[in-house]
């Protein structure tokens, strides 16, 4: 099957076409929202949109047809995303006023994940994902802390500043606190009174410092992952073979074969070779 | 005692109800501050508020009654928070103009800590807290440095820009310096003169760089904590038992039993099992 | 000598008075710049200012008198700061229009460093300072990179947006680029054209990513420092003595003596004891 | 050849002159864009510009003449940058309206790289560059994630807020999402509706957290680099020789010779000595 495998030349060519048409259809959608563009090129963009939707429909039906279990595919996450990429177009044909559905098609951007999954970035993507997954509890606790801080500081500024300075309600004040604690700082709402500014300064300094917590969490996990990767390689140095002279036993930081000087495979590929797993978790 | 223990089914059910009513009462308070909502649903929100306060009062009295040392509980941090969650309501009944007290009730949000303390996130919360605690001195020094920098730069811009550009006093200028050094940047006060902008640029670059200091502090501590946790486990690999085949001696990064393939307990639970401590510090 | 030593009770009491009067005189200066305060309490603040300056003058003369080498003290960094804390007051007496000199007195804030130097935060302060010092070259390279990026992007937006959108000159555009790359984002100058916004987006994403570089530099150094500290302790575990039972040989992460259960000295103090150095570099 | 080597006194003097004239010509260009300066000093700046361009032209021709392979130099990256530094001036002489070309000359700033390459910051620059290079895939994945998030959140706010609140098109909304997720927060476009603010808050918190990912990536790599550097040194401690007493075998953290007390060479120089490589990659 061409469309499900990526290691044949035809499969790879198919993937490149697919990724190009996904990005193309996204560009059509994005440009169509700019008024000056849509007034001038509206018809052409519409034709392109029809073309891309037709392509994706054919691809969807082919996948359904070729899949050994069509229903399992249709119910899977990727099946759902693939359907969402074409369905809004057909609904818009039936229901005239469903203009807002057009933007749902932007979810096509998630189809890019399917492509990324197939190609060679798997290993690195997994290091990131595994780090995030391992620290999911710490991240949850961190966000609970942020939620509590934001509620307290938002309420404080609601009392101190009051509606006349833009803090019209507690939800608005919590929005201000989030804008401040994440150091975004739009400036649409900002404290005016002296006490309000003092409390706001405290909020900023807190936000500035606790930014270190998620960084620390992710970095600590990621350091372990990188070290683990290097250790795995070191323990199995006899398994890496020079593609030129066929000798092995290379140092973990070697980029060139010490016997003949030709380039060695990339670090990530070595690990895959040694551990025999591509790090594919789902 | 149902309300103090969490490992019985009834205790767990009680905790879930408690957390739901805390969040519910918070939502009532927050929504009540939105004018359009309070005009329309004001009466209903008031009834809900009375209900939640009654619930919390009953719970507080129960805790006082069931506690072996009622006075110790009342004086403890959690006893104080529990009291603060209900007292403003009764004061507002007596003193008609104590509207602002209503927001004190938002401190109920801190009651969530008590629940978090009981459930299974203790271990991870402790890694964060211990890292922060171990680096308390470094963080204090960091904030002293920030305070000094902010005073100097605030004073500088007060001289350079002057009251006509919004830098009306040194406290206001210090507020500007904090807004700038934490990279929040509201834009309500911003330098206009060339020299002021040059000094402001310096402030920004400084703020941008010293952000690395708290991150470095926390990360260095956290890396040690994570490594320590893994080492503890490695040294005691014979203590982790597969829940299925009852065999032990598993690798530190094993997710599945190597003897029968069934899933092993989570990393955090293993550490608790091995060290015999739940990491509860207070 | 009371004023130079800190390990006698009198010396410690003197230090606390000194730090209080430094902070007091800073507060007087800061509050004096607020118009509403200075109109009402101006005379009182002036008297307080005279009092603090007199105190600092006496202290300065005492230090000069007691120092074995008065001239070396007067020429040192701290001697200069001490002089700067009092000189502006006397100049202002002679020259009537030297109002702006008043703010120079804010440099008194740097006198706090002298106190910090004396007390127990030395070790931690040194970890931070040594990390910064070890990475001084990497930080210099990082700032060169930032300077180059900021010049290029500033010039680009000067061409694209032009004076009509606020980018009046290249220095102004470089100021904008610094505001953007450090993620401060005042919003006083912001791109309006589509191309300008696209380039600005690139600037933001770059700034967002290269923020990771100083963090990485500091963290990598700091991790080494923390690890080194723990290693030093581990190698000399026989040197840490329990203050109660006088036995030694404690684990590096022990908080309590394993022989009698009484509390052990803090981690930092142990290291000082073992290495025999207080980490005092100057 | 004086201009290509840096280790002779004459070569070093030449380099210092070159770097001074690069910075000088940059300042002339930057100041020339300020209207008040160019009106008053316009003629003088023009003369300076002609002088610097003449200098660079002579240097370029000398390099071409002295280079063993002139064509290879002209085609190299540095040859191109050197040409770009002088060409716009001559084109502007021929084509009268090519004012905008003037700014291309700002690319001279990149000539500074050539100087930095020659001097002693190579080793540290390489640690940064190698860390970035090793994590290029992880950084690419991170930016893909950011691109996807920004598209989705931008589209969401385009639907929710609509053109009347400043979100005039999807590209504008994506620009807003980038401004928000990078925590820049200009405030020129900001959500007004309650739902829009809720989604925006989510965007901010996401941006705040995923900032930890690039930091984690770079830090993990950099820690490995620093550790590797120290390990290399430790394994070859007999190769570091005290410049005074000519004895060796020093600890990795030694700053002074343990035999005679004189200062040892800097850490970076030792590594170069030991590994025999200057880390020069191109």
Span of A136-140, B227-231, D37-41 with lowest mean pLDDT: B227-231
More confident residue, A223 or A258: A223
* C184 chain-A contacts, CB cut-off 8 A: 185
Contact across the interface for C110 and B148, Cβ inside 8 Å: yes
The pTM assigned to this predicted structure is 0.80
Q: B266: nearest CA in chain A? A: A134
Mean pLDDT along residues C194-204: 91
Q: Which of residues 43-72 of C touch B (CB under 8 A)?
A: none
Looking at the predicted structure, is the pLDDT value of residue C122 above 60? no
Looking at the predicted structure, is the pLDDT value of residue B69 above 60? yes
Q: What is the pLDDT of residue D99?
A: 59
More confident residue, B87 or B176: B176
Q: What is the pLDDT of residue A233?
A: 60
Is residue B226 less than 8 Å (CB to CB) from chain D? Answer: no
Q: pLDDT averaged over chain D?
A: 75
Contact across the interface for D187 and A188, Cβ inside 8 Å: yes
Contact across the interface for B185 and C185, Cβ inside 8 Å: yes
CA distance B166 to B208: 24
CA distance C203 to C189: 14
Looking at the predicted structure, is the pLDDT value of residue B269 above 60? no
- Mutation for D interface: C145, C189, C216, most D CBs within 10 A: C216
Q: What is the pLDDT of residue A80?
A: 81
Band the pLDDT of D197: cuts 50, 70, 90: very high
In terms of average pLDDT, the best of C76-85, C167-176, D20-29 is: C167-176
Nearest CA-CA distance, residue A162 and chain C, Å: 22
Q: What is the pLDDT of residue C280?
A: 35
Mean pLDDT along residues A13-40: 82
Choose among C252, C274, C268: nearest CA to C128: C268
Q: What is the pLDDT of residue B115?
A: 60
Q: What is the pLDDT of residue A282?
A: 30
Q: What is the pLDDT of residue D175?
A: 92
**Using CB atoms, which residue from A30, A103, A225 is nearest to D159?**
A103
Q: What is the pLDDT of residue C75?
A: 80
**Is the separation of the CB atoms in C159 and D149 below 8 Å?**
no
**Using CB atoms, which residue from C29, C132, C211 is nearest to B208?**
C211
**Is the separation of the CB atoms in A176 and A167 below 8 Å?**
yes
Write down the residue that tokens 């960094």 correspond to.
Answer: C77
**Using CB atoms, which residue from B113, B179, B219 is nearest to A220?**
B219
Q: Are residues A208 and A266 in the same domain?
A: no
CA distance B168 to C167: 26
Query: Could you give the residue ranges of the DSSP H alpha helices within B33-120?
Result: 35-66, 70-75, 77-84, 87-94, 111-118
Contact across the interface for B187 and D187, Cβ inside 8 Å: yes
Q: What is the pLDDT of residue C100?
A: 60
Q: Which residues pair with D263 in a beta bridge?
A: D256
More confident residue, C247 or A159: A159
- Mutation for D interface: B31, B219, B223, most D CBs within 10 A: B219
- The three-class DSSP label of residue B18 is helix
Q: Which of C87, C119, C151 is the last residue of a domain?
A: C119
* B100 chain-A contacts, CB cut-off 8 A: 159
Give the helix/strand (H/E) hosting C21: helix C9-32
More confident residue, A3 or C62: C62
* B219 chain-D contacts, CB cut-off 8 A: 219
Is residue D209 less than 8 Å (CB to CB) from chain B? Answer: no
Task: Tell whether B57 is covered by a domain.
Answer: yes
CA distance C158 to C169: 7
Q: Are residues D240 and D276 in the same domain?
A: yes
CB contact set of A147 (below 8 Å; sequence gap of 6+): none
Is residue D207 less than 8 Å (CB to CB) from chain A? Answer: yes
Q: Are residues D107 and D140 in the same domain?
A: no
Q: What is the pLDDT of residue A139?
A: 81
Choose among A149, A138, A82: nearest CA to A113: A82
Nearest CA-CA distance, residue C185 and chain A, Å: 8
- How is residue C272 written in tokens? 């000082």
Q: What is the pLDDT of residue B180?
A: 92
**Using CB atoms, which residue from B34, B109, B268 is nearest to A152?**
B109
Task: Tell whether A161 is covered by a domain.
Answer: yes
Q: Are residues A150 and A248 in the same domain?
A: no
Band the pLDDT of C250: cuts 50, 70, 90: low
In terms of average pLDDT, the best of A22-31, D23-32, D184-193 is: D184-193
Write down the residue that tokens 């003193």 correspond to.
Answer: B95
Q: Which of B84, B119, B154 is the last residue of a domain?
A: B119
Q: What is the pLDDT of residue B266?
A: 57
**Is the separation of the CB atoms in B218 and B132 below 8 Å?**
yes
**Using CB atoms, which residue from D144, D174, D228 is nearest to A116?**
D144
Q: Are residues A147 and A176 in the same domain?
A: yes
**Using CB atoms, which residue from B113, B124, B178 is nearest to A204?**
B178
Is residue A168 less than 8 Å (CB to CB) from chain D? Answer: no
Task: Tell whether D81 is covered by a domain.
Answer: yes
Q: What is the pLDDT of residue A278?
A: 41
Q: Are residues D161 and D229 in the same domain?
A: yes
Task: Tell whether A218 is covered by a domain.
Answer: no
Q: What is the pLDDT of residues C143-185, one digit of tens each?
A: 888 888 898 899 888 888 888 888 888 889 999 999 999 888 8
Looking at the predicted structure, is the pLDDT value of residue B20 above 70? yes
CA distance C244 to C76: 43
Band the pLDDT of B282: cuts 50, 70, 90: very low
Q: What is the pLDDT of residue A174?
A: 92
Is residue A169 less than 8 Å (CB to CB) from chain D? Answer: no
Nearest CA-CA distance, residue D30 and chain C, Å: 6
Q: What is the pLDDT of residue A267?
A: 53
Task: Tell whether A43 is covered by a domain.
Answer: yes
**Using CB atoms, which residue from D184, D187, D219 is nearest to B219?**
D219
Looking at the predicted structure, is the pLDDT value of residue B92 above 80? no
Q: How many CB atoms lie within 10 A of CB D69?
A: 9
Task: Tell whether C224 is covered by a domain.
Answer: no
More confident residue, C56 or C135: C56
Looking at the predicted structure, is the pLDDT value of residue D67 above 90? no
Instruction: Give the CATH number of the domain where residue B48 resides.
Output: 1.20.120.350
**Using CB atoms, which residue from A152, A186, A197 is nearest to B175?**
A197
Band the pLDDT of C282: cuts 50, 70, 90: very low
* A184 chain-C contacts, CB cut-off 8 A: 185
Q: What is the pLDDT of residues B157-206, one digit of tens each?
A: 888 888 888 888 888 999 999 999 988 888 888 898 889 999 999 999 88
Q: Which of residues 95-134 of C touch B (CB under 8 A)?
A: 100, 103, 106-107, 109-110, 112-113, 116, 121, 124-125, 127-128, 131-132
Looking at the predicted structure, is the pLDDT value of residue A266 above 70? no
Q: Which of residues 3-22 of D touch A (CB under 8 A)?
A: none
**Using CB atoms, which residue from A138, A180, A219 is nearest to B219?**
A219
Nearest CA-CA distance, residue B61 and chain A, Å: 26
Task: Tell whether B222 is covered by a domain.
Answer: no
Mean pLDDT along residues C123-149: 77
Looking at the predicted structure, is the pLDDT value of residue D213 above 50? yes
Rounded percentage of chain A residues whose pLDDT exceeds 70 = 66
CA distance C86 to C61: 11
Instruction: Give the CATH number of the domain where residue C159 resides.
Output: 1.10.287.70
Q: What is the pLDDT of residues D130-170, one digit of tens each?
A: 777 777 777 887 888 888 889 889 988 888 888 888 888 88
**Using CB atoms, which residue from A185, A215, A219 is nearest to C185?**
A185
Q: Are residues A79 and A110 in the same domain?
A: yes
Span of A267-276, B123-132, B238-247 with lowest mean pLDDT: A267-276
Q: Which of residues 227-266 of D touch C (CB under 8 A)?
A: 227, 230, 253
More confident residue, C8 or A223: A223
Span of A98-107, C207-216, D51-60 with lowest mean pLDDT: A98-107
Q: What is the pLDDT of residue D201?
A: 92
Looking at the predicted structure, is the pLDDT value of residue B234 above 90? no
Contact across the interface for D34 and C171, Cβ inside 8 Å: yes
Could you give the number of structural domains in chain D? 3
Rounded percentage of chain B residues whose pLDDT exceeds 90 = 6
Q: Are residues C110 and C17 in the same domain?
A: yes
Q: What is the pLDDT of residue A199?
A: 92
Is residue B186 less than 8 Å (CB to CB) from chain D? Answer: yes
Mean pLDDT along residues D211-235: 74
Q: What is the pLDDT of residue D264?
A: 66
Contact across the interface for A185 and B187, Cβ inside 8 Å: yes
CA distance C155 to C173: 7
More confident residue, C177 or A128: C177
Contact across the interface for B187 and C182, Cβ inside 8 Å: no
CA distance D269 to D233: 11
**Is the separation of the CB atoms in B275 and B122 below 8 Å?**
no
Q: Are residues D15 and D39 in the same domain?
A: yes
Neighbouring subunits of C (3+ Cβ pairs under 8 A): A, B, D
Contact across the interface for D216 and A211, Cβ inside 8 Å: no
Mean pLDDT along residues A200-224: 82
Task: Tell whether A231 is covered by a domain.
Answer: no
ipTM summary value: 0.75
* D140 chain-A contacts, CB cut-off 8 A: 121
CA distance D97 to B189: 40
Nearest CA-CA distance, residue B122 and chain A, Å: 10
Q: What is the pLDDT of residue D280?
A: 34
Rounded percentage of chain A residues whose pLDDT exceeds 90 = 7
Q: Are residues A99 and A181 in the same domain?
A: no
Q: Which residues pair with C140 in a beta bridge?
A: none
- Residue D43's domain comprises 9-119
Q: Are residues A115 and A44 in the same domain?
A: yes
Task: Return the number of CB contacts < 8 Å for B and D.
Answer: 9
CA distance B167 to C34: 11
Mean pLDDT along residues A102-128: 63
- Mutation for B interface: D33, D182, D218, D219, most B CBs within 10 A: D219
Choose among C160, C200, C150, C161: nearest CA to D30: C150
Q: A230: nearest CA in chain D? A: D224
**Using CB atoms, which residue from B127, B184, B219 is nearest to A215?**
B219
CA distance A209 to C252: 28
- φ, ψ for residue A96 (rounded to 5)? -70, -35
Count Cβ neighbours within 10 Å for each residue of B49-74 and write b for 16 or more, e otherwise: beebbebbbebbeebeeebeeeeebe
- How is residue D14 written in tokens? 């030449």
Q: What is the pLDDT of residue D282?
A: 30
Nearest CA-CA distance, residue C68 and chain B, Å: 30
**Is the separation of the CB atoms in C149 and D148 below 8 Å?**
no
In terms of average pLDDT, the best of A103-107, B221-225, D31-35 is: D31-35
Q: What is the pLDDT of residues D77-114, one digit of tens each?
A: 778 878 877 887 787 777 766 555 666 666 677 776 66
Mean pLDDT along residues B81-110: 72
- The three-class DSSP label of residue C255 is coil
Is residue B140 less than 8 Å (CB to CB) from chain C? Answer: yes
Looking at the predicted structure, is the pLDDT value of residue D281 above 50? no
* A30 chain-D contacts, CB cut-off 8 A: 151, 170-171, 174
Looking at the predicted structure, is the pLDDT value of residue B118 above 70? no
Give the helix/strand (H/E) hosting C172: helix C170-181
Q: Are residues C93 and C141 in the same domain?
A: no
Contact across the interface for B159 and C103, Cβ inside 8 Å: yes
Q: Which of B94, B119, B144 is the last residue of a domain?
A: B119
């Amino acid at each position: 099957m061409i469309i499900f495998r990526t290691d044949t030349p035809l499969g790879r060519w198919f993937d490149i076409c697919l990724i190009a048409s996904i990005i193309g259809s996204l560009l059509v959608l994005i440009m169509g929202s700019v008024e000056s563009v849509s007034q001038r090129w509206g018809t052409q963009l519409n034709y392109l949109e029809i073309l891309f939707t037709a392509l994706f429909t054919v691809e969807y039906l082919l996948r359904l047809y070729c899949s050994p279990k069509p229903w399992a595919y249709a119910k899977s996450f990727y099946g759902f995303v693939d359907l969402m990429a074409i369905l809004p177009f057909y609904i818009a044909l039936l229901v005239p006023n469903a203009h807002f559905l057009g933007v749902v098609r932007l979810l096509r951007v998630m189809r890019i994940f399917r492509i990324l999954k197939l190609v060679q970035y798997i290993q690195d993507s997994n290091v990131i994902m595994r780090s995030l997954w391992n620290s999911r509890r710490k991240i949850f606790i961190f966000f609970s802390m942020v939620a509590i801080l934001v509620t307290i500081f938002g309420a404080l500024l609601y009392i101190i500043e009051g509606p006349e300075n833009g803090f019209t309600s507690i939800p608005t004040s919590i929005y201000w606190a989030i804008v401040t604690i994440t150091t975004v700082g739009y400036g649409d709402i900002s404290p005016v009174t002296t006490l309000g500014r003092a409390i706001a300064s405290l909020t900023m300094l807190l936000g500035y410092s606790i930014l270190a917590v998620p960084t620390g969490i992710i970095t600590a996990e990621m350091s372990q992952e990188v070290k683990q990767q290097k250790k795995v390689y070191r323990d199995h140095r006899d398994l890496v073979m020079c593609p030129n002279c066929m000798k092995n036993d290379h140092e973990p930081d070697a980029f060139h074969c010490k016997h003949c000087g030709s380039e060695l495979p990339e670090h990530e590929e070595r690990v895959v070779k040694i551990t025999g797993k591509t790090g594919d978790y789902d």
